[in-house]
Chains A and B, each alone.
Chain A
């Protein structure tokens, strides 16, 4: 059964600015892949817990000790834009006027 996808909504959630022709290609491909992936629904798993970690490890703790962190200037040297020790981005909200 073909899977219906609101691809523009998904692209917005994923923060990908795609044009209409790209959206159409991905909509078609995703629908095809999901049709195949939907096979998982054929497996009876009612009594089965989901696995997130294959060895079942939980809560790994380490000593809470102060350690050196990465050099700030070296880190900021990789940013597209920085100023006074901060990362710089365009306005988060559109500003009127």
Chain B
């Protein structure tokens, strides 16, 4: 077994006990990347030199007894929509090719301060818009379990790299399911924390009231270590949560005895693959045998959440992406006037999906349509929050499939935006409510493709969410790893 296959917890233990050095661990991860990248294309940039320097610095700290905690010396990857000072950051857009940010995102600062080794920047759907990573201007990422299939998206590179071992853990961003859905399709754990618990400072914004950064890892415990490494109040993000941040470690051993698990009735049945529904039912059964009480809950507005989401997210995107105008950063196409230059720059720089969403959002916010579309969608959002609150009166956590299907084939949905948008039907409600939710691998289908289960909790309810996720993980005994194939 290569060191690249270690969990973060195990690698941290071996580092602490002096059994391995971060340099060895980082070299193993880089070697794995060399072996898998031509097939998978998880990364847009690999910072080999920077990673080895960080690893050497970590080893030196440790030799002096100055190690900084569980992430010191651990190789991690970052979705390429998080700004890294001195490392190209493109958001998978042609418009930002060559852009080198003059500052680090909050999560990057925190990871550097914790001694983590940043291996590189992972592929995504352009500006995080998509559910398959096929919308990258630099070519798709492939699913390590079956390279004819997508890894999900938009954090497809971050999910695939963890599954393949070209990083021990990674960070993604989740606006409608962009951490959880690829985690499910690649057989890893993915967490969208409560809105506001991880600072968005330095995250290239997509839809600001929905965007949240979170970890992706091979185990629930690893995801916890990564989350605890980056969450916390940051005054530079005005929506950052300034209250308590509990230690999540005790929750992992808590079990589910006496907990109420709510099964969301609307998130199964028509449109869901039988293998997915069956795996989720079996996992619920196991939770019941472990002492949980299972109740059915109904959240009728979930049925229109997709519609509300596809008004709110593009509306916010159209405003956020206005900054890419060829003036301060990114590439420019010349024009006669400022407006001409901007319109040409944007037409040449944005790919089809950002254009589609900018146009959709601009329309939904334009004079005469605001009340019928955007205003109405924001009201639906409130209605959804009320229904979720009512459901949490009956249950401690809610569960559903993470994705209605397992990984689909490349090209299967690219020409049908609506079909692609339906990939997020289970995940986007928690972006609208701001509640935390995570995906845990619970099994595979007949073809050996991973299936994920979503655990949702009320806002600030990460402890109970992790308690259930850890129990699900223990009961599922999901040990399968993707075939690595020949280089």
User: Residues on A close to B: CB < 8 A?
Assistant: 5, 7, 10-18, 22, 26, 29-30, 32-34, 36-43, 45, 48-55, 57, 60, 62, 70-71, 74-75, 77-81, 87, 89-94
Contact = CB atoms under 8 A, between A and B. Distances in A.
7 contacts: A5-B363, A41-B376, A52-B378, A55-B241, A57-B239, A79-B328, A89-B338
Contacts of A10: 359, 362-363, 366
B196 A55 contact: yes
Interface residues of B, number: 76
Given A10-B366, A94-B337, A40 B346 contact: no
Given A40-B307, A55-B196, 16 more contacts: A14-B362, A15-B322, A15-B343, A16-B355, A22-B355, A30-B359, A34-B373, A36-B418, A37-B307, A40-B373, A50-B378, A57-B196, A89-B338, A89-B341, A92-B339, A94-B337
B336 A90 contact: yes
Interface in B164-222: 194-196, 209
Contact of A74 (B102, B338, B376): B102
Interface stretch (B53-61, B285-293, B380-388, B466-474): B380-388
Contacts of A53: 209, 239, 434
A40 B382 CA distance: 12
Contacts of A93: 337
Nearest to A82: B328
Given A33-B310, A40-B377, A90-B335, A78 B99 contact: yes
Contacts of A90: 334-338, 340-341
Contacts of A54: 195, 209, 385, 432-435, 459
B304 interface: yes
Contacts of A89: 326-327, 338, 341
Contacts of A91: 336-338
Interface of B: 99-103, 194-196, 209, 235, 238-242, 301, 304, 306-308, 310-311, 318, 322, 325-332, 334-344, 346-347, 350, 355-356, 358-360, 362-364, 366, 372-373, 375-383, 385-386, 417-418, 421, 432-435, 459
Contact of A60 (B239, B318, B332, B364): B239
B381 A33 contact: no
Q: Give the interface centre of A26, A32, A40 by most chain B CB atoms within 10 Å.
A: A40
Nearest to A60: B238
A15 B373 contact: no
A56 to B, nearest CB: 9
B140 to A, nearest CB: 21
A80 B359 contact: no
A71 B103 CA distance: 9
A24 B433 CA distance: 35
A30 B310 CA distance: 11
A13 B412 CA distance: 32
Given A40-B376, A79-B327, A90-B337, A17 B344 contact: yes
Contacts of B355: 16, 18, 22, 26
Contacts of A33: 310, 360, 417-418, 421
A85 B338 CA distance: 19
> Interface residues of B: mostly helix, strand, loop or mixed?
helix
Nearest to A26: B359
A50 B239 contact: no
Contacts of A70: 102-103
A38 to B, nearest CB: 7
A95 B439 CA distance: 58
Given A16-B346, A55-B195, A39 B100 contact: no
B383 A29 contact: no
A90 B418 CA distance: 39
Nearest to B303: A39
Given A16-B350, A33-B417, A40 B339 contact: no
Contacts of B364: 37
A71 to B, nearest CB: 6
A48 B383 contact: yes
B434 A45 contact: no
Contacts of B331: 80
A88 to B, nearest CB: 9
B157 to A, nearest CB: 23
Contacts of B330: 78, 80
A3 B346 CA distance: 26
Contacts of A22: 355
Contacts of B459: 54-55
A40 B311 CA distance: 9
B380 A43 contact: yes
Nearest to B325: A15
A45 B380 contact: yes
A96 to B, nearest CB: 13
Contact of B307 (A32, A38, A87): A38
B383 A45 contact: yes
B209 A52 contact: yes
Nearest to A19: B347
Q: Give the interface centre of B342, B382, B421 by most chain A CB atoms within 10 Å.
A: B382
Contact of A81 (B301, B332, B343, B382): B332
Contacts of B360: 30, 33-34
A93 B310 CA distance: 36
